[in-house]
């Protein structure tokens, strides 16, 4: 058991080091201007979409409930955080992090309120209710004074500027890392097992003492919280939000990332969110064909990997290293045999 | 005081009286059989006892306390665990994880402890892992602990379901056709195991079964249902000779 624990600990350390290296390298490249401001923006967007996809994966992949209004939570978070930073007198360096927490909490409250009726029932009611929520919240924000109607909110300001282009990326990256870590540690705990058991068989889970309503709500509200935070970062990244940015298409876009990466696979979501965010941007040169290529990729993946790129598996660097080690060891054995 | 006691228990589906005034008792450490032709209402009784259905009338008492109106998960926590007629495992989870789900109710650490991987997480996870593997040893299944449950052969899936139910530390174990789909040798093994489980875990067992050799050998008392009505009860030898029971089974 101690050997087992040691192995887990080394895996944690390897992963932590790799993430730290990636982070430092990217920040240096951004600060030295090797990665242009345009590309830094795309990288930030990648991180935001990773956060969204991973949080949606918690509900859709791990809990097994379809959500069609994830952009609605993003909208709530975006407006909540923007309204806070616009109206508070604090400098952005302080008000921004506070606004993100606020964004998450407001969004979680919305998640709780619409989750209670939907999740007390068995079946796909959550899909319909979240679909309705996404549309209603958008229409409401078109018509409220506080959200400034269809003009939306602008002038939030951002932490990045010409001299210092990296802060927004740093925020997005670190929060994405925290979210991914939370998903992993949550998934491999008693709570995660309870949530997965609900996906596998709700009736059996309940008869084994799992409070299914509680765990479904827990996962859904957690996902709503994270989506709200992502919305907050998004608002301060593009500095101009209006309801049209958070329509049904946006929800579907996030859902596609989850499905393509593999429902239930966190690393799958990370990979597909990164590729599907960056690809359309980098394909701008072939402007006429880029959406064709985008859809072609989706069709091809769904044809050949119907359960998504990774299915329910996870990519793990330590595992890959172990495999490589094994292969090298295997290659050595026959050559030794020959010498004998 | 009886471990389980039902009084006038009944349920109506639409216009159909699926179960009618069932009086039934199960005492500590007993193995009781519930038999009857197809559609007699046996599984309905299980669904009532575990809170899946709400009875139209009557009372259910576990150790003297009413369990009416309790949710299935609450009933499981106070001591009734069940298996299902058509196996309901968590198919894409490992065998060990299937058992750990049922142990969730006895684990204490909070979600934040898990996210931060604090010591209580490690301690309790290690404990529960050990317990799960110990349970698997009962059926000689410890090698399968890390396999996906869906990959187990049918007989072992049935056994895993029983283990999962036991993992929630019930006082009363409800087995819904545990021998369904098993061959005669496997059924024989199962008989021995059912007795063994009763002795080792000190649980009372109420089982539904169509395999008469198993029922007559293992059960100490039997209840016979037909069209939702109790037509006979007593020790196996009496039931075997009971004319009503013979009539119900032969259909004359």
- Residues from chain B contacting residue A183 (CB–CB below 8 Å): none
Distance from CA of B73 to the nearest CA of A (A): 4
Total count of domains within chain A = 2
Asked whether residue A164 is domain-assigned, the answer is yes
- Note whether residue A321 is domain-resident: no
- What's the pLDDT score for residue A338? 43
Exposure string over A284-318, b if 16+ CB within 10 A, otherwise e: eeeeeebeeeeeeeeeebeeeeeebbbeeebeeeb
CB B245 within 8 A of CB B224: yes
- The verdict on a CB contact (< 8 Å) between A196 and B93 is yes
CB–CB contact B88 A208 (8 Å): no
Do A209 and B102 make contact, defined as CB atoms within 8 angstroms?
yes
Tell whether A331 is covered by a domain: no
Chain A residues with CB inside 8 Å of B164's CB?
208
Q: What DSSP letter does each residue of A162-189 carry, written as one string? A: SS---HHHHHHHHHHHHHHHHHHHHHTS
The pLDDT value recorded for residue A222 is 96
Confirm or reject contact between A272 and chain B (CB < 8 A): no
Q: Which residues of B touch A188 (CB under 8 A)?
A: 114
Q: Min CA distance, B88 vs chain A (Å)?
A: 6
Q: Are residues A96 and A225 in the same domain?
A: yes
Q: What is A200-244 written as a DSSP string?
A: H-HHHHHHTT--HHHHHHHHHHHHHHHHHHHHHHHHHHHSEE-GG
- Both A116 and A171 in a single domain? yes
Task: Choose the closest CB to B115 out of A186, A218, A312.
Answer: A186
Q: Is the pLDDT of residue A8 over 90?
A: no
Element (H, E) at B13: strand B4-13
Chain A hits for B52, Cβ within 8 Å = 203, 207
Q: How far apart are CA A215 and CA B251, in angstroms?
A: 48
CA dihedral (A163, A168, A173, A175) positive or negative: positive
Is the pLDDT assigned to residue B3 strictly greater than 60? yes
> How big is chain A, counted in residues?
340
Q: Are residues A137 and A14 in the same domain?
A: no
Mean pLDDT throughout A173-196?
A: 93
Record: contact A185-B114, CB cut-off 8 A: yes
Q: CA geometry: angle at A242 spanning A283 and A141, to 5°? A: 140
Q: Which of A49-63, A214-228, A294-308 is predicted least confidently?
A: A294-308
How close B50 gets to chain A, by Cα (Å)?
A: 7
Record: contact B104-A204, CB cut-off 8 A:
no
Query: For residue B117, with 0-12 CB atoms within 10 Å meaning exposed, 13-18 middle and 19 or more buried, which class applies?
Result: middle
CA distance A283 to B195: 68
User: Would you say residue A82 has pLDDT above 90?
Assistant: yes
Q: Does A11 touch chain B (CB under 8 A)?
A: no
Q: Is A337 contained in some domain?
A: no
pLDDT of residue A332: 62
Q: Which of A8-12, A248-252, B158-162 has the lowest mean pLDDT?
A: A8-12
User: Average of pLDDT values for B7-13?
Assistant: 91
Does the pLDDT at position B153 exceed 60? Answer: yes
* Contact assignment for A185 to B71 by CB distance below 8 Å: no
Residue B71 has a pLDDT of 93
Residue A142 contacts B where some CB pair is shorter than 8 Å: no
- Dump pLDDT digits (tens) for B75-91: 999 999 999 999 999 99
Q: In what order do the strands lie in the sheet with B221-226?
A: B65-66, B57-62, B4-13, B16-26, B229-234, B221-226, B31-35, B204-208, B172-176, B80-82
What residues make up the domain containing A18?
1-34
State whether residue A215 sits within 8 Å of chain B by CB: no
Does A26 share its domain with A48? Answer: no
Using CB atoms, pick whichever of B91, B101, B125 lies closest to residue A208: B101
Q: Which of A188, A191, A196 sits opposite B111 (nearest CB)?
A: A191
Residues A124, A29, single domain; the answer is no
Nearest by CB to residue A207, choosing from B82, B117, B121, is B82
Report pLDDT for A212.
93
Nearest-angstrom CA–CA distance, B70 and B55: 12
Q: What percent of chain A has pLDDT over 90?
A: 54
CB contact under 8 A, B72 and A207: yes
Cα–Cα dist A58/A220, whole Å: 8
* Res A4: pLDDT: 67
**Comparing C-alpha atoms, which of A230, A224, A311, A219 is closest to residue A265?**
A311
> Best mutation site among A185, A188, A193, A207 for testing chain B: the one with the most B CBs within 10 Å?
A207
A20 and A147 within one domain: no
Of all residues in chain A, the percent with pLDDT exceeding 70 is 96
In a domain? residue A322:
no
Taking 60 as the threshold, does the pLDDT of residue A340 lie above it?
Answer: no
Interchain contact, A208 vs B81, CB within 8 Å:
yes
Instruction: Assess A205–B contact: CB distance below 8 Å, yes or no.
Output: yes
pLDDT at A339 over 50: no
Of the candidates B37, B48, B73, B63, the residue with the CA atom closest to the CA atom of residue B204 = B63
Q: B117: closest CA among A237, A44, A12, A154?
A: A12
Cα distances from B224 to residues A108, B36, B53, in angstroms, run: 52, 5, 21
Do A15 and A135 reside in the same domain of the chain?
no
Return d(Cα A184, Cα A266) in angstroms, integer. Answer: 8
CB B246 within 8 A of CB B63: no
> Most A CBs within 10 Å: which of B50, B99, B102, B145, as the mutation test of the A interface?
B102
- What does the DSSP 8-state code read for residue A314? -
DSSP character at residue B221: E
The verdict on A15 and A164 lying in the same domain is: no
Q: Could you tell me which chain A residue has the CA closest to the CA of B84?
A: A204
Instruction: For residues A71 and A136, give the distance between their C-alpha atoms in angstroms, rounded to a whole number.
Output: 12
Q: Report the distance separating Cα A287 and Cα A326, nearest Å.
A: 45
At A232, which CATH number?
1.10.3470
Q: What is the pLDDT of residue A208?
A: 94
Q: Look-up: residue for tokens 């665990």?
A: B81
The shortest C-alpha distance from A308 to chain B (Å) reads 16
In a domain, A74, yes or no: yes
Q: From CA B45, how far away is CA B85, in angstroms rounded? A: 13
Comparing A8-12, A285-289, B97-101, the range with the smallest average pLDDT is A285-289
User: Based on the domain organization, do A103 and A165 belong to the same domain?
Assistant: yes
The confidence score (pLDDT) of residue A322 equals 80
Q: What is the pLDDT of residues B182-238, one digit of tens each?
A: 888 888 888 888 999 999 999 999 999 988 888 888 999 999 999 889 999 999 989
Tell whether A330 is covered by a domain. Answer: no
Do the Cβ atoms of B127 and B109 come closer than 8 Å?
no
- Chain A CA closest to residue B164: A208
pLDDT the model gives residue B62 = 93
Higher pLDDT, A204 or A308: A204
The encoded tokens of residue B88 equal 């309901």
Which position has the higher pLDDT, A39 or A332? A39
Beta carbons of B90 and A196 less than 8 Å apart: yes
- In chain A, the largest separation of any two C-alpha atoms, in whole Å, equals 85
Residue linked to tokens 């907050």: A232
Split at pLDDT 50, 70, 90, the class of A297 is confident
Tell whether A127 is covered by a domain: yes
Substitution target in A5, A9, A190, A195 with the highest count of B β-carbons within 10 Å is A190
Residue B1, CA distances (Å) to B81, B143, B184 in order? 20, 42, 37
Given a cut of 60, whether residue A335 has pLDDT beyond it is: no
Q: What average pLDDT is seen over chain A?
A: 88
Task: Check pLDDT > 60 for residue A337.
Answer: no
Same domain, yes or no: A270 and A254: yes
Q: What are the tens digits of pLDDT across the range B46-76?
A: 999 999 999 999 999 999 999 998 999 999 9
E runs forming strands in B97-171: none
Name the residue of chain B whose CA is nearest to A203's CA: B88
Q: Whats the size of chain B, residue-wise?
A: 252
Q: Are residues A172 and A28 in the same domain?
A: no
Residues of B in contact with A3 (CB under 8 A): none
Query: Mean pLDDT, to the nearest integer, of A45-67?
Result: 94
CB pairs under 8 A between A and B: 98
> Do A77 and A181 belong to one domain?
yes
Per DSSP, helices labelled H in chain A are: 2-31, 37-57, 70-87, 92-119, 125-143, 167-187, 190-200, 202-207, 212-238, 248-261, 266-282, 287-304, 317-339
Contact assignment for B121 to A194 by CB distance below 8 Å: no
Taking an 8 Å Cβ-Cβ cutoff, which residues of chain B contact chain A?
50, 52, 71-73, 76-77, 81-82, 84, 88-93, 97, 100-102, 104-105, 107, 109, 111, 114-117, 121-122, 124-126, 128, 164-165, 167-168
Chain B nearest-CA distance from A81, in A, is: 25
Check residues B45 and A152 and name the one with the higher pLDDT. B45
A36: contact with B, CB 8 A cutoff: no
Pairing mode, if any, of strands B204-208 and B221-226?
Answer: unpaired
């Amino acid at each position: 058991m101690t050997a087992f624990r040691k192995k887990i600990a080394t895996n944690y350390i390897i992963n932590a080091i790799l993430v730290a290296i990636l982070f430092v390298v990217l920040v240096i490249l951004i600060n030295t201007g090797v990665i242009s401001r345009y590309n830094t923006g795309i990288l930030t967007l990648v991180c935001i979409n990773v956060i969204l996809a991973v949080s949606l994966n918690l509900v859709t992949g791990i809990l097994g409930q379809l959500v069609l209004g994830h952009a609605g939570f993003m909208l709530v978070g975006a407006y909540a955080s923007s309204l806070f930073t616009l109206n508070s007198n604090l400098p952005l360096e302080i008000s921004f992090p506070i606004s993100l927490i606020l964004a998450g909490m407001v969004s979680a409250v919305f998640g709780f309120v619409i989750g209670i009726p939907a999740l007390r029932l068995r079946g796909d009611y959550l899909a319909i209710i979240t679909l309705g929520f996404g549309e209603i919240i958008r229409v409401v924000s078109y018509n409220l004074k506080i959200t400034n109607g269809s003009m939306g909110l602008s002038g939030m300001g951002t932490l990045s500027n010409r001299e210092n282009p990296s802060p927004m990326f740093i925020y997005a990256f670190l929060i994405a890392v925290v979210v991914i870590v939370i998903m992993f540690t949550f998934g491999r705990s008693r709570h995660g097992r309870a949530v997965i058991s609900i996906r596998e068989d709700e009736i059996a889970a309940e008869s084994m003492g799992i409070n299914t309503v509680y765990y479904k709500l827990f996962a859904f509200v957690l996902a709503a919280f994270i989506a709200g935070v992502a919305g907050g970062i998004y608002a301060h990244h593009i500095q101009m939000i209006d309801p049209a940015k958070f329509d049904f298409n946006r929800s579907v876009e996030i859902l596609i990332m989850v499905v393509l990466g593999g429902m239930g696979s966190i690393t799958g979501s990370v990979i597909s969110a990164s590729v599907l965010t960056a690809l359309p941007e980098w394909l701008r040169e072939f402007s006429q064909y880029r959406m064709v290529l985008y859809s072609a990729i989706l069709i091809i993946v769904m044809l050949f990997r119907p359960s998504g790129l990774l299915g329910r598996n996870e990519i793990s660097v330590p595992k890959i290293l172990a495999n490589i080690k094994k292969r090298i060891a295997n290659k050595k054995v026959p050559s030794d045999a020959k010498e004998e | 005081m009886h471990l389980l006691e039902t009084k006038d228990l009944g349920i109506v589906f639409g216009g159909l009286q699926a179960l009618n005034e069932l009086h039934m008792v199960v005492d500590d450490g007993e193995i009781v059989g519930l038999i009857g032709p197809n559609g007699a209402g046996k599984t309905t009784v299980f669904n009532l006892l575990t809170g899946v259905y709400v009875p139209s009338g009557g009372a259910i008492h576990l150790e003297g306390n009413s369990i009416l109106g309790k949710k299935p998960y609450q009933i499981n926590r106070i001591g009734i665990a069940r298996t299902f007629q058509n196996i309901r495992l968590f198919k894409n989870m490992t065998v060990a994880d299937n058992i750990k789900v049922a142990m969730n109710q006895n684990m204490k650490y909070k979600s934040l402890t898990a996210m931060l991987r604090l010591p209580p997480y490690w301690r309790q996870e290690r404990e529960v892992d050990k317990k799960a593997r110990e349970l698997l040893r009962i059926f000689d299944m410890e090698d399968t602990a890390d396999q996906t449950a869906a990959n187990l052969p049918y007989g072992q899936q049935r056994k895993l379901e029983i283990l999962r139910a036991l993992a929630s530390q019930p006082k009363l174990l409800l087995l819904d056709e545990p021998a369904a789909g098993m061959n005669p040798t496997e059924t024989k093994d199962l008989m021995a195991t059912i007795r063994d489980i009763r002795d080792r875990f000190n649980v009372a067992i109420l089982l539904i079964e169509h395999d008469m050799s198993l029922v007559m050998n293992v059960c100490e008392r039997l209840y016979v249902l037909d069209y939702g009505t109790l037509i006979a009860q007593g020790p196996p030898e009496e039931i075997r000779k009971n004319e009503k029971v013979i009539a119900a089974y032969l259909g004359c």
